[in-house]
Amino acid sequence: MPDVIVIGAGLVGLGVAYELAKRGVSVTVYDRAEPARAASWAGAGMLAPFSEEMPDAAMLALCRESLAIYPAFVDELRERTGVDARFRRDGTLHVALDGARLAELAAHAQTFRANGGEVAMLDRGDVLAREPMLAKHLAGGLFVANEAQVDNRRLGRALLAACEPLGVRVERVDGVVLECDARRVRGLRTAYGFAAAATVINAAGAWAGELDGVPQHARIPVRPVAGEMLAIAIPPTALHALVWLGHRYLVPRDDGRLLVGATVEDRGFDARVTAAGLHDLLDAALAVAPALASFAVVETWAGLRPGSHDGRPYLGATALGGYVVASGHYRNGILLTPVTARAIADLVVDGRDDVLAPFAPARGGTEPAGAVANHIA
Ligand code: GLY
């Protein structure tokens, strides 16, 4: 019998399982699909707490903490498994197509700096010196030096490989049901029978609100928010930084793929790639870098972000004893994987919940707190 069951073998679920197993906990992870897929595979791996929309100071602090521990997390996984998730701190470049937008970026620079971003305003010459592939007529940009990226698909492989020798079992099974009495979880019912566990952690991403058997008072209102993406094959090193134009972004990978993302669509469990989505993404990409027009589109895909009611994830214990939640990370699940894994392991093993109070699953409320709005768009 495992000590802990984790539902969801995405980056968050595998990260939690890995941290628990390192501390000697026996863990089984259940997923209905292949591990490290869904949003963990679909994401762009941007580690951008200053450029992403942050609903409040607690969320900003959590994201900054996770970015701070990311290099050690990736190094440790590489040392254990040989799989390098390719953490790159190449910064983020927000570009302006005209003077009015450049003035807006200059105003955003103040907020970024106040939030801890290492920022610099760039004129057209500076932008093109950094990124010669971008449009020659750009007005300028805002560079955030202390943002990074990770290859999330490689990170999934690394976590999976690191979990195995620690004894973590990853089981593929559909239709799991949480079993509990009036006060506590008892385990999980699956197609193969009943698996008992004193602790069950729901890390099921966009599906975390759908888990059968959870009593009403312990449910979390996670909703899927679709994001469509595509990849263009470009010469490796043709672009260096993450490049943003309003809500859209370009992410250059070491393997020569340039990821272009992402739409944001509240349309339920619908992960189709649509003509309108691709049109929107290519429109932005070609406005920033017209030279991309002659390169091949090599991949299109979509994922479902786990949205929460206020922009913060749901992390920690619920009103049902032994039932713990780690979901609702919305646009920042890859960024928040290391800190979520550590915080949930601290909670389960040591009963410590130092960083978790603002993210309590039962916090209620309906609106974002809105204290440190830094949304660039
Ligand atoms: N983190 C970027 C996105 O969700 O589109």
Looking at the structure, do residues 144 and 160 belong to the same domain, yes or no? no
Overall average pLDDT of the 172-191 stretch: 96
Looking at the structure, do residues 75 and 183 belong to the same domain, yes or no? yes
Overall average pLDDT of the 73-86 stretch: 98
Structural domain includes residue 10 = yes
Structural domain includes residue 367 = no
Overall average pLDDT of the 207-221 stretch: 97
User: Does 371 have pLDDT greater than 80?
Assistant: no
Overall average pLDDT of the 243-253 stretch: 96
Looking at the structure, do residues 302 and 314 belong to the same domain, yes or no? no
Specify the pLDDT at position 364.
74
- Look at residues 220, 210, 270, 252 and name the one whose alpha carbon lies nearest to residue 86: 252
DSSP string of 319-352? SSBTEEEEE--GGGTTTTHHHHHHHHHIIIII--
Atom 5, ligand 1: which residue's CA is nearest? 262
User: Does 89 have pLDDT greater than 50?
Assistant: yes
Structural domain includes residue 373 = no
Enter the tokens of residue 195.
Answer: 């698996």
DSSP string of 289-317? -GGGGGSPEEEEEEEEEEE-SSSS-EEEE
Structural domain includes residue 372 = no
User: Does 370 have pLDDT greater than 50?
Assistant: no
Specify the pLDDT at position 375.
44
Residues with CB under 6 A from ligand 1: 44, 46, 227, 261-262, 305, 331
Overall average pLDDT of the 215-219 stretch: 96
Instruction: Please give the residue that has the higher pLDDT: either 290 or 370.
Output: 290
User: Does 41 have pLDDT greater than 80?
Assistant: yes
Looking at the structure, do residues 302 and 313 belong to the same domain, yes or no? no
User: Does 377 have pLDDT greater than 80?
Assistant: no
Could you tell me the pLDDT band of residue 366, with boundaries at 50, 70 and 90?
A: low
Q: How many domains does the chain have?
A: 2
Domain with 234 in it? 92-148+223-307
Cβ-based burial of 274 (10 A; exposed 0-12, middle 13-18, buried ≥19): middle
CA angle 73, 78, 84 (to 5 degrees): 100
Specify the pLDDT at position 248.
97
Instruction: Show Cβ contacts of residue 316 under 8 Å, excluding neighbours closer than 6 positions.
Output: 324, 325, 343, 344, 347, 353, 356, 359, 360, 361
Looking at the structure, do residues 246 and 301 belong to the same domain, yes or no? yes
The CATH number for 141's domain is 3.30.9.10
> Given 278, 307, 336, which residue is the final one in a domain?
307
Looking at the structure, do residues 127 and 209 belong to the same domain, yes or no? no
Q: Which of 40, 46, 150, 245 to mutate to test the pocket of ligand 1 (most atoms within 8 A of CB)?
A: 46
Specify the pLDDT at position 1.
61
Looking at the structure, do residues 197 and 331 belong to the same domain, yes or no? yes
The CATH number for 163's domain is 3.50.50.60
